[in-house]
Chains A and B, each alone.
Chain A
Amino acid sequence: MLNYTLRRLGLSIVIVSVAMSILFLMIHLVPGDPVTIALGPRATPEMREAYRARMGLDQPIHIQYVVFFANALRGDLGQDVFSQRAVTRIISEQLPHTAALVAAAIGWSALLGIVLGCFSAVHRNSFFDKFTGVITVGAIAVPSFVVSLYSLLIFAVMLKVLPAIGAGEPGDLVDQAQHLILPSFALGLGWVGYIARLVRASMLEVMGENYIRSARSYGLLERTVIYSYALKVAILPTVTLLGVGIGNLLSGALFAEIVFARPGIGKLIYDMVITRNYPVVQGAVLVTTALFVLCAMIADLVNASLDPRVRASL
């Protein structure tokens, strides 16, 4: 397992380095002068020169590349163009809000999705199975911003039982938790569908495997066969999906963050793209990419701990 972990970690580092290189190249290869884009067309030549020197844009490109990597390794992702605050600081302020939202959304949807998928597979073609089939496909089909708007309308505006916008009072955990309910519901609903469909499909596949027939031929209890054996194999693809899903939502929680006016990484990237605040966008994209790779790696490590065949590979 240690061997696998080290190799997987090495692979992640390579992936992040490649992603950083691509990010660097994209910024330098896209048409247009970054200075003009950042400062606008009416900046004076002196302002441009000063900005260019401050951002290190007057250096040769390979030097810039090395500096970019070295700074990133030291935890320096540059500064906000307007406020001059460190980008890492801005991101670390926003990240906990997104992390809490994603954890809550994936948490409830994974629990419900696994239970629904498992139950549907065990009671295949029953009324319950067909009913959840319709509901889960529906949950996938409805865009999360529609769910956001309607849940906001129903629970916050009409029923007035839950807070509508914001992330809650800093330090007040109960208030923050209440503010999480609606956005995490809106964000997680589609995931219930994905997870339930995937768990159902892989459960059905595993239930048809020879080793399940063998297990039954030993007279094992049906609950042992289903929950200790079949589910343990069938859950593996779901773990991978969850890893990718969490990584994806870290920057993809945008709609929920905008509709509920919550701080967060998605909202940050959106705002900074609008105001052309380049270093912050670059830093935020880099951080979410690294987190995505991290989540995928954790999913793989969880898979490896569950499946000895994975440990033997790679």
Chain B
Amino acid sequence: MDPVLSIRDLSLDFETPPGPVHALRNVSLEVPRNHIVGIVGESGSGKSTVIAAAMRLLANNAVIRGGEVIFNGRDVLGMNQEELRALRGEEISMVFQDPMTSQIPVLTIGRQMTDIQYRRRNVSMAEKRNLAVEMMRRVGISDPEERLDQHPHQFSGGMRQRIAIAMALLMNPQLLIADEPTTALDVTMEAQIIHLLRELKESFEGSILFVSHNLGLIAELCDYVVVMYAGEVVEQGSVEDLFYRASHPYTQALLECDPARIEDATPALPTIPGDVPDLHIVPQGCVFAPRCPRAVARCREEPAQIATIGAGHRARCHLLGHE
């Protein structure tokens, strides 16, 4: 079956006063139907930019340099405003990072949830409200009838994220994009939201593209994982591939730094030395070479090519191609 979303060779710059930032370079990834795909990477790796590009919710200074974003066989990058509006909400929708600022503060949740259903022309207001009540119940809000008349500030962060998920799923989209949906929440809430997402994936029969920097969440929730570094996909594969057979030195380093995997008490947590490169000037060789413990001369001179490790498991590294 066709993937629901397929991004091929996407390159994107942000125009800034000192010059363009090459934020994405030849990014390719696929979201298969009825699966959960995770994108993992440090801050500034371009993971949020990829998903913003998938919905065309990019900042004004973003310039797409090449590639395509295919959703259900249609090119999202070629869509006009009208087509994009039809796509958003109805076919792809999104849950954002900060639940405290995701809803309009001056309108009731019920009003916002009926507004989202404006395309259901033959459905009465009472029926739209019932659908909203049902969706609120599905995401675990108790007393939804009464709570629909409340305003966003009357809900806690965890509940607001549940409501954001309810709003995103209201039109039964085929793809839900979740951009670090638990980063702003405490650990208990985080576990609940992850549980909810997994439950919803079963009941609403769609795919989820889940963005996080938390490897534990990715391992728990996702079927496939895409690892991004400095605007490139460095490794992708099934969750088993990534966690048991990590091939790219960056993925390996990330796993070593995950506090959840460190068993012995250490005076200092391990880190990857160095910083994410400044993407005004893209390095000539592999982007990770300056921080890579295994880099050889060739890594600094030539861009790394994608090497296939197994079925669906690929990594962008010089050391892998010739093994």
Give the contact-size bracket for chain A: 20 to 34
8 pairs of residues in contact across A and B, judged by CB atoms under 8 Å:
A214-B167, A217-B89, A217-B93, A218-B168, A219-B89, A220-B89, A220-B115, A221-B85
Q: Which residues of B contact A (CB under 8 A)?
A: 55, 57, 81, 84-90, 93-94, 96, 98, 101-107, 115-116, 118-119, 151, 153-154, 164, 167-168, 170-171
* Contacts A219-B85, A220-B115, A228-B115; A233 near B104 (Cβ below 8 A): yes
Contacts of A224 in B (CB 8 A): 115, 118
Contacts of A89 in B (CB 8 A): none
Q: How far is the CB of A203 from chain B (nearest CB, A)?
A: 14
- In the complex, are the beta carbons of A220 and B116 less than 8 A apart? yes
Which A residues, 205 to 219, have Cβ-Cβ distances below 8 Å to chain B? 209-211, 213-219
Contacts of A306 in B (CB 8 A): 106
* Contacts A213-B57, A216-B57, A224-B115; A229 near B104 (Cβ below 8 A): yes
In the complex, A220→B85 CA distance in Å?
Answer: 7
In the complex, A59→B60 CA distance in Å?
Answer: 73
Q: How far is the CB of B175 from chain A (nearest CB, A)?
A: 12
- In the complex, are the beta carbons of A210 and B101 less than 8 A apart? yes
Minimal Cβ-Cβ distance residue in B for A306: B106
Decide yes or no whether A312 CB sits under 8 A from chain B: yes
Known: A221-B85, A312-B153. 19 other contacts (CB 8 A): A211-B102, A211-B103, A211-B104, A211-B105, A213-B57, A213-B96, A214-B96, A217-B96, A217-B168, A219-B90, A220-B89, A222-B81, A222-B85, A224-B115, A229-B107, A233-B106, A306-B106, A308-B154, A309-B151
Contacts of A209 in B (CB 8 A): 101
When the two chains form the complex, which single residue of B81, B107, B119 contacts A232, counting CB atoms closer than 8 Å?
A: B107
When the two chains form the complex, which single residue of B93, B105, B153 contacts A218, counting CB atoms closer than 8 Å?
A: B93
Q: How far is the CB of A240 from chain B (nearest CB, A)?
A: 15
Contacts of B103 in A (CB 8 A): 211, 214
In the complex, A220→B168 CA distance in Å?
Answer: 12
- In the complex, are the beta carbons of B88 and A218 less than 8 A apart? yes
In the complex, A97→B234 CA distance in Å?
Answer: 75
In the complex, A215→B113 CA distance in Å?
Answer: 11
Decide yes or no whether A175 CB sits under 8 A from chain B: no
- In the complex, are the beta carbons of B118 and A307 less than 8 A apart? no
When the two chains form the complex, which single residue of A218, A233, A308 contacts B89, counting CB atoms closer than 8 Å?
A: A218
Minimal Cβ-Cβ distance residue in B for A229: B104
- In the complex, are the beta carbons of B88 and A217 less than 8 A apart? yes
Q: How far is the CB of B162 from chain A (nearest CB, A)?
A: 14
Contacts of A309 in B (CB 8 A): 105, 151, 153
* Contacts A211-B101, A308-B151; A219 near B87 (Cβ below 8 A): yes
In the complex, A224→B154 CA distance in Å?
Answer: 23
Which A residues, 252 to 311, have Cβ-Cβ distances below 8 Å to chain B? 306-309
Contacts of A217 in B (CB 8 A): 55, 57, 88-89, 93-94, 96, 168
Contacts of A312 in B (CB 8 A): 153
